[in-house]
Each structure stands twice: as structure tokens, then as C-alpha cells.
Amino acid sequence: MRGVVRDKEATKAKLLDAAMDEFAQYGIAGARVDRIAAKAGCNKAMIYAYFGSKEGLFDELLKIQIDRMIQQVPITPDDLPGYAGRLFDSYRDQPQLLRLAAYHRLENGFEAVPAAEAEAYRHKVEAIGRAQMEGKISAEFNANDLLDMVVHMSILAFTTPNATRALVERSVSRLIAE
């Protein structure tokens, strides 16, 4: 075929791409739909045709990005320091995702956790619980708290600009030491 001029999926992809930059930089309230449309080289009305609203665009974008991150960094319950380290690297390589998530939590409340994220979290807690029962890692902390802290350490990439992967890994090692 010749160069496709009209392609719904391509247009949605361009909009999502532009939305990533805009929302990560300005947040939901600060983002401007006109800027997103301009950056995507599309008409503003396409946002409303394909995503319903500014918030609809944000929600779909966040869901896609979270799914990607979940698939990209699988948990390794018997190597939590390594898991934290890989999460840290992913976050540092794609700082926009954490900014997106931070804005989402700030503006929508901390209970508004996307379903995909909540479910993935549950599976990870179970995996850690099994590893504890098998005696592979310390049982001083319960599985839920442990995952909270491992994830929390990995977002040093977001909080502390000069943090390193090695620092995160050593910290988690100490947390789970017998």
C-alpha cells in the first residue's frame, strides 16, 4: 500500500505518544489538550473521538504504561535486591512513568489504584509469601510490608536524583537479611 494517510490506530498512537510528554511534564490539571494535539500533529477533536476526554486519555495512557512496566520487570521473590535494582533501572530509564503515576495519585487520591496494578501487586505478595514459607528469605516482615518497602526503595530513582542501583540493592539486602 502507499503511505497511509488515514489510520485510526496510528493516530491514537501519536496522540498517546504526545500525551506522555505533556502529562509527565505538566500533570493532569496542567496539561493542555491543544498542545497534545499539536505535538501529535492531529486535530484536537480526535482526542475526544478516541478517548472521550482529557482524563480518558490520561487513564488509557497510564494503563498502557503500567502494563508495559509490569511485563518488563517480573518479580524474582528469591532475589528481591535484584528485583529492586531492575525496577530502579527501569524507572531511571523512563522517568516519565513515575511522574505520570505520581500525578495520578496526587490528583486522584491514593485509593485510586488501576486494577491491573492492584492485581499484579497481589500476585507479587503471594510470591514473596511462598518464598518466605520455603525459608528462602527472612520472615521478619510480612510479605505485604516487604513488597511495599522493596518497591519503595526502587523509587529512590524518583526521589533522590543521585541515587544508584547499587545503593538500592544493598539497602534491600539489609532489609531482608536473616
Partner DNA sequence: TTCTGACAACTAACCGGTTGGTTGACAAGG
Partner DNA sequence: CCTTGTCAACCAACCGGTTAGTTGTCAGAA
Residues that bind a second copy in the complex, under the rule CB under 8 A: 26-30, 99, 102-103, 106-107, 110-111, 140-141, 145, 148-149, 152-153, 155-156, 159-161, 163, 167, 170-171, 174-175, 177
* Residue 97 and residue 69 in contact, taking contact as beta carbons nearer than 8 Å: yes
Is the Cβ of residue 1 or residue 159 nearer to a second copy in the bound state? 159
Q: Which of 4, 115, 118, 177 binds DNA (CB under 7 A)?
A: 4
Could you say which of 6, 71, 162, 174 contacts DNA (CB under 7 A)?
A: 6
Of positions 18, 19, 24, 31, contacts DNA by CB under 7 A: 31
Rounded to whole angstroms, what are the CA distances from 118 to 43, 86, 95, 139, 171?
A: 34, 20, 21, 23, 25
Identify the DSSP state of 134.
T
> Does the footprint of DNA cover residue 32 (CB under 7 A)?
yes
Q: Binder to DNA among 17, 21, 27, 33 (CB under 7 A)?
A: 33
CA distance 121 to 142: 14
**Binding partner of residue 175 among a second copy, DNA, none, CB under 5 to 8 Å per kind?**
a second copy
134 binds, among a second copy, DNA, none (CB under 5 to 8 A by kind): none
Q: Looking at beta carbons only, is 50 or 141 nearer to DNA?
A: 50
Nearest C-alpha neighbor of 164 from the set 99, 109, 85, 110: 85
Query: Which position has the grid cell 480518558?
Result: 56
34 near DNA, rule: CB under 7 A = yes
Grouping H, G, I as helix, E, B as strand and the rest as coil, residue 98 is: helix
Q: Who contacts 33 (Cβ-Cβ below 8 Å, separation ≥6)?
A: 44, 47, 54
Report phi then psi at 125, rounded to 5. Answer: -60, -45
Taking CB under 7 A as the rule, which mask of x and - marks residues 47-86 in contact with DNA? Answer: -xx---xxx-------------------------------
Per the CB < 8 A criterion, the answer to whether 62 and 20 are in contact is no
Residues lying near DNA in the complex (CB under 7 A): 1-2, 4-8, 10-11, 31-34, 42-46, 48-49, 53-55
